[in-house]
């Protein structure tokens, strides 16, 4: 995956990658998946959540839609 958002102060980042086994549906952006990750100073990482980006919230798998 690729880091698409990084919050170093909170030790968190958001990754985006393609999961080719996912069924493509119109409400989701292809077969991409997002993973929210947190790490600590001891080099441990924790997957907080994983989800499929929705077309209503993301203009591409890597870009959030601007809120109005």
| Chain segment 12-53, per-residue pLDDT in tens | 999 999 998 988 899 999 999 999 999 887 778 899 999 999
Q: Which two tokens stand for residue 59?
A: 């203009």
Find the Cα–Cα–Cα–Cα dihedral 32, 36, 41, 42, rounded to 10°.
-70
pLDDT higher than threshold 70 for residue 54 = yes
Low-confidence winner among 1-5, 46-50, 63-67 (lowest mean pLDDT): 63-67
Confidence check: pLDDT of 68 > 70:
no
> For residue 41, what pLDDT is reported?
76
What gap in Å lies between CA 36 and CA 39, rounded to an integer?
10
What pTM was computed for the model?
Answer: 0.85
């Amino acid at each position: 995956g690729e880091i698409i958002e990084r919050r170093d102060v909170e030790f968190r980042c958001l990754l985006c990658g393609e999961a080719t086994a996912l069924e493509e549906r119109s409400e989701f952006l292809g077969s991409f998946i997002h993973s929210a990750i947190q790490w600590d100073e001891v080099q441990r990482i924790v997957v907080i959540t994983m989800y499929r980006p929705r077309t209503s919230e993301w203009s591409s798998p890597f870009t959030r839609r601007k809120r109005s």
